[in-house]
Amino acid sequence: MKLTYPWFLLALLAIAIPIAIHLLQLRRPHRLLFTNTAFIREVDLVTVRHRKVQHLFILLARVLAVATMVLVFCKPFIPAAQSVKEANSSVLDVLVDNTFSMQLQGAAQGSLFQGAISQAGRLGNLESASGRLKLMNSGNGLVTQAAYKNKLDELKLTSRNPYYKIDEAAEAQTESKNSLFILSDFQKDSFNPKLLAKINPAQNVVLVPLVGKKVGNLYVDSVWLDDAFVRVRTNIGLHVRVRNGGLAVANDSPVKVFLGNRQVAAFRVTVEPGQAAASVVQVQLNDNALALGRVVTEDTPVTFDNTFYFTLQPAAAIRVLEIGPEPVAQQLYGNEPLFTYSYSKPQSVNYAAMRQANLVILREVEAIDAGLREGLREVVKRGGNVVVVPSASPAAHNSYQQLFKDLGLGTAQWENVTGTPELRDVAMPSAREPFFRDVFGAQQRAVTMPRVAPVLRWTRTGTDILRLRDGESYLADFPTGAGRVYVFSAPFSKEYSDFTAHALFVPVMYRMAMLSYRNEQFPAYSLTQPTVTLQLPTTNNELARPNGAADEAGFRLVKDSLTFIPAQRVLGQEVRLELPEGMDSPGFYQVQRQGKPITTLAFNMDKRESELAAYSADDLRKMVGNRPNIRVLEAGESGADLAKFQAQQTGQPLWRYFLALALMCLLAEALLIRYGTRRAVVRVKVAA
């Protein structure tokens, strides 16, 4: 047996106190005269003898009580035969998984996080209070036992995975032989087995998997709209996909949808473990303001992912620019408030309008100069769409060939048209074509289709939107840059086509315009993604700086009383924000510059954190393989196995047993005082 604090043995001098009390309580017997002295003398001898024995036992109980209490403060223990630590190492590293998945109810009372904190506190007893402890969640500095326990108490749940600390230690390439304890639920979607290969072979590692109860965990996997073009006071189909990341069935769980503070929809779902269910609800925006939405699920005990935040931005007017000999689409787009229409002649193109246009229609231009080709290339480069309607003039062929080359469409083959063009029928479009989604009714009727005379064919394979009855393409879609190019094979003039007079002309042109609109702001972002890219308003020139320069503290992310200044870079009308480390709370964050709000972004937890499937102790042992420095320890209920392992490494503590012995001695003293005197008195009465 060894003592942790042997200098406490000086307190054994306190044994003199009960001895002094015993000596002071000794009294000389009083002499009494009776007629039958022989009988009295015999009783007196029996009483005095009993009193002496009683006092000796009381003295012994008091001395033992004091001695055992002193040994309790000395903390005796039986040394272990072997230790997990090397002889030249006395530092203990502890890594506690404090991600939100640790909200799961443990096998005992309390969550897995509370159990991890409790067991990490017990691990602090592996070291003396000499400052050889390290809680890796709170930094790499060594702390005392008191500071270590304070840091454990301050530890809170966060969205950032703590396993990155292992990567940092591996990159440091230290020769430390410290012991590392990892207490985690070891989620399959969060824990990467490759981390085990990065651990220093000289470091002794103990993996402590914490096992929770099997429950269902319903969370919102994604939210999307039927159409990116959101119109005010029009029903919008909002798709809500919920997934069960737990290990039990989520039975008849309620789901509610809010826009602002107003509940707009509610439904119930039953989802099997690992499965998902999608529902569609109809919502409507009342004005042009950015709508802040929430999807709320109700399930316990894992509640961190019960709210999914999203935003809905009403679409701005789509800018359409037509370039051609005369305006053809003016009535088509000009009378509809969804579009902002402008027209330019080829000789006087409005390049300012082109830089802001979502859709540019180049129709039957005889000569396309280099400036116009460059302008069209910039349109598709930034994500706009271009519609090309060829000219029938042979003199324009070279210009179009150069345009197709600049746009990445390859070389076109031109038809030799002599005399009156031969018109051919356009085939009925397929309702399964994504371009015509929601354009036709549930039941298509046979209708008369337009007739056209193609003047070109293209060598690059695109997506045919409209075909002729003989199989040749009439309207094709080519992805180019960040945008798209739509090419007609025939001009719009009456000699070559009656398409502009056909009923199909309006939905096709509307569809191309609406597909040119792109909402640069996503409905929702993840807190774990590294950057967020936003498109700055083109009318707010002070937001863009020349040469891509930006005020380092210009853009801020504000949520209630929290303000974050992310690393940022402005490139033209685009700003890239790097999410700061401390930003781990889901919700709505307002993007501000110089105190002025620009937009509001919705941030949510990483979906991987909601998947509660975890590696078991056996799974971890298979991952460890033949690495002798890594050991997997089953924590068990209330950390019983961990306490057993601790005893194996530091020895068997004995202070609890000495404390119990001290209490037993005090109890024995009380019993001797209470019942010993009564027994002597009874003997006298019986003798009389």
315, 330, 350 — which closes off a domain?
A: 315
Alpha carbons 432 and 581: distance in angstroms, whole number: 46
Confirm whether 630 is domain-assigned.
Answer: no
User: What confidence score (pLDDT) does residue 552 get?
Assistant: 47
Q: Are residues 359 and 480 in the same domain?
A: yes
Number of domains the chain is built from: 5
Q: What is the CATH number of the domain that holds 293?
A: 2.60.40.10
Confirm whether 210 is domain-assigned.
Answer: no
Q: Are residues 309 and 324 in the same domain?
A: no
Alpha carbons 447 and 498: distance in angstroms, whole number: 15
Q: Are residues 492 and 375 in the same domain?
A: yes
Q: Are residues 162 and 74 in the same domain?
A: no
CA proximity to 598, closest of 382, 344, 313, 375 = 313
Q: How far is CA 598 from CA 75, 355, 537, 540, 601, in A?
A: 63, 21, 9, 10, 10
User: What confidence score (pLDDT) does residue 65 get?
Assistant: 86
315, 343, 373 — which closes off a domain?
A: 315
Half-sphere exposure of 184 (CA within 13 A, CB side): 28
Q: Are residues 505 and 552 in the same domain?
A: no
Higher per-residue confidence, 293 vs 415: 293
Q: Are residues 423 and 505 in the same domain?
A: yes
Peptide bond into 314 cis (omega under 30): no
Confirm whether 68 is domain-assigned.
Answer: yes
Q: Residue 562 belongs to what domain range?
A: 520-611
Q: Are residues 545 and 407 in the same domain?
A: no
406-425 pLDDT tens trace? 888 888 888 877 778 888 89
Residue 634 binned pLDDT confidence (cut-offs 50, 70, 90): confident
Q: What would the mean pLDDT of 569-573 be, rounded to a whole number?
A: 79
- pLDDT at 358 exceeding the cut of 50: yes
Residue 518, helix vs strand vs coil? coil
Confirm whether 387 is domain-assigned.
Answer: yes
Q: What mean pLDDT, rounded, does the chain reach?
A: 82
User: What confidence score (pLDDT) does residue 131 get?
Assistant: 55
Q: Are residues 542 and 602 in the same domain?
A: yes
Q: Are residues 395 and 504 in the same domain?
A: yes
Alpha carbons 580 and 86: distance in angstroms, whole number: 39
What phi-psi label fits residue 364: left (phi over 0), alpha (psi between -120 and 50 degrees) or beta? left
Q: Which residues contact 577 (CB under 8 A, 6 or more apart)?
A: 531, 532, 533, 534, 555, 557, 566, 567, 568, 591
Residue 201, helix vs strand vs coil? coil
Confirm whether 673 is domain-assigned.
Answer: yes
Q: Are residues 337 and 480 in the same domain?
A: yes
Q: What is the 3-state secondary structure (H, E, C) of 333-370?
A: HHCCCCEEEEEECCCCCCHHHHHHCCEEEEECCCCCCH
Higher per-residue confidence, 678 vs 498: 498
Provide the greatest CA pair distance for the chain.
165
Confirm whether 489 is domain-assigned.
Answer: yes
User: What confidence score (pLDDT) does residue 245 get?
Assistant: 93
Phi, psi of 602 (to 5 degrees): -105, 125
Q: Are residues 354 and 399 in the same domain?
A: yes
The alpha carbon of residue 596 and the mean position of all alpha carbons in its chain are separated, in whole angstroms, by 29
Alpha carbons 62 and 673: distance in angstroms, whole number: 12
User: What confidence score (pLDDT) does residue 377 get?
Assistant: 92
